[in-house]
Structure 1
Amino acid sequence: MCDGISKRVVSMWFPRLASDRVLRARPVDGAFALTLKAKNTERIYCLNRAAEQAGLGRGMSFADARAFCPDLISQPARPDLDRAFLASLRRWATRYCPWVGYEGMDGLVLDVSGATHLWGGEPMMLADMRARVSRAGLELRLGLGESRGAAWARAHYGAAQSRLTDLPVAALRIDDQMVTALQRLGLRCIGDLTVAARAPLARRFGPDLMLRLDQAMGHVSEPIMPESVAPQFATRMSLPDPIGLTEDVMGITARLLRPLCDKLKAQEMGARRLCLTLRRVDQGHQQVELRLAAPMRDPSRILPLFERGVGEVDAGFGIDQMRIEATLIVPLPAQQIGSGQSSPDQLNDLITRIGTRIGLENIQRFLPADSHIPERAFSIAPAAFSKPETGWVAPRPRPLCLFPPEPIAARGPQPPVQFRWRRMRLTTGRAIGPERIAPEWWLSDDTWRTGLRDYWQVDTREGRRLWLFYTPQNPGWFAQGEFT
Structure 2
Amino acid sequence: MFDGSQRRVVSLWFPRLASDRVLRGCPLEGPFALTLKQSNANRLYCLNAEAAHQGLHQGMSHSDARAFCPDLQTAPADLLQDQRFLQILRRWATRYCPWVGLEGRDGLMLDISGSAHLFGGEEGMLNDMRRRLMRAGLSAQVGLADTRGAAWALAHHGEGVAPPGEMLPALQSLPVAALRLGEQTTTALARLGLRQIGDLAIAPRAPLTRRFGSDVMMRLDQALGRHPEEITPLADPPHYGVRMTLPEPIGIVSDVMAGAQRLLTRLCATLTTQEMGARVFEITLRRVDRDTQTVELRLARPLRDPQRILPLFERGLAGVDAGFGIDQLRLEATQVEPLPARQITHVSTRDKGQLDDLITRIGTRIGLENIQRFLPADSHIPERSFIVAPAAYSDPASGWASANPRPLCLIPPEPIAGTGPQPPERFRWRRMSLTTGRATGPERIAPEWWLEDDNWRSGLRDYWRIETLEGRRLWLFYTPQNPGWFVQGEFA
The two structures have a TM-score, normalised by structure 2, of: 0.66
1:117 aligned counterpart, secondary structure: coil
Tell me how far apart the structure 1 counterparts of residues 131 and 328 of structure 2 sit (CA, whole Å). 29
Give the letter aligned to residue 28 of structure 1: P
C-alpha separation between the residues in 2 aligned to 1:204 and 1:89?
41
Please give the per-residue CA displacement for 1:404-456, whole angstroms capped at 9, x wherever unaligned.
4545568997986x864322456x6xx76332332146867667846463x33
**Count of equivalent residues:** 457
CA RMSD, Structure 1 to Structure 2 (Å): 5.8
Cα offset, 1:107, TM superposition = 1.7
The one-letter code matched in structure 2 to 1:436 is: G
Match of 2:323 in 1: none
Partner of 1:387: 396
Distance in 2 separating the partners of 1:323 and 1:134: 38
Contact 2:381 2:447 in 1 (8 A): no
Q: How does 1:244-393 map onto structure 2 within 5 Å?
A: 257-271=264-278, 273-274=279-280, 276=282, 292-299=299-306, 301-302=308-309, 324-334=332-342, 336=344, 341=349, 343=351, 345-352=353-360, 363-367=371-375, 375=382, 379-382=386-389, 383-384=391-392, 385-389=394-398
The Cα offsets for residues 21-56 of structure 1, whole Å up to 9 and x where unpaired, read as 3344x37375564322466354361425xx389566
Specify the SS of the correspondent of 2:238. Answer: coil
2:45 corresponds to 1:36: no
Q: C-alpha distance in 2, partners of 1:433/1:448? A: 26
Residues 370 and 235 (structure 1), Cα distance of their counterparts in 2 relative to 1, 3 Å cut: closer
User: More deviation in 474-483 or 32-41?
Assistant: 474-483
Residue of structure 2 in register with 1:433 after alignment: 438
CA 1:435–1:257 in structure 2 vs 1: closer, same or farther (change >3 Å)?
same
Q: Aligned equivalents of 1:300 and 1:270: distance in 2? A: 14
Contact 1:198 1:210 in 2 (8 A): no
Give the unaligned 5+ runs of structure 1: none
Task: Specify the code of the residue in structure 1 equivalent to 2:270.
Answer: K
> Is the 1:10–1:151 Cα contact (8 Å) retained in structure 2?
yes
Partner secondary structure for residue 153 of structure 2: helix
Structure 1 position 329, deviation (Å): 0.6
Q: Which residue type is aligned with residue 235 of structure 1?
A: G
* Whole-angstrom distance in 2 between the partners of 1:150 and 1:32: 33
1:465 deviation in Å? Answer: 3.5
Q: In 2, distance between residues paired with 1:66 and 1:349?
A: 61
Map 1:24-423; keep pairs closer than 5 Å: 24=24, 26=25, 28=27, 33-37=32-36, 40=41, 42-43=43-44, 45-48=46-49, 51=50, 58-59=57-58, 75-93=75-93, 100-111=100-111, 116-117=113-114, 120=117, 124=121, 127-128=124-125, 131=128, 134-135=131-132, 137=136, 138-156=138-156, 157-162=158-163, 163-164=166-167, 165-167=169-171, 168-170=173-175, 171-174=178-181, 190-191=197-198, 193-194=200-201, 196-198=202-204, 202=208, 206=212, 209-227=216-234, 229=235, 232=238, 234-235=240-241, 237=243, 257-271=264-278, 273-274=279-280, 276=282, 292-299=299-306, 301-302=308-309, 324-334=332-342, 336=344, 341=349, 343=351, 345-352=353-360, 363-367=371-375, 375=382, 379-382=386-389, 383-384=391-392, 385-389=394-398, 400-404=408-412, 406-407=414-415, 420-423=428-431
Distance change (3 Å), C-alpha of 1:405 and 1:415: same
TM-score, L = length of structure 1:
0.67
- Asked if structure 2 preserves the Cα contact closer than 8 Å seen for 1:408 and 1:477, the reply is yes
Amino acid at match of 2:132: R
> Distance between the aligned counterparts of 2:242 and 2:131, measured in 1?
28
Change beyond 3 A, Cα 1:303–1:96? farther
8 Å contact kept, 2:35–2:75: no
| Alignment match, 2:289 | none
Structure 2 unmatched ranges of 5 or more? 287-291, 321-325, 450-455
- 2:376–2:397 contact (8 Å) kept in structure 1: no
SS in 1 for 2:143: strand
**CA 150–419 in structure 1, closer or farther in 2 if over 3 Å, else same:** closer
Q: Distance in 2 between matches of 1:286 and 1:357?
A: 18
Change beyond 3 A, Cα 1:85–1:399: closer
Q: Distance in 1 between matches of 2:306 and 2:338?
A: 17
Q: 302-311 or 39-48: which moved more?
A: 302-311
Are 1:166 and 1:189, in contact at CA under 8 Å, matched by a contact in 2? Answer: no
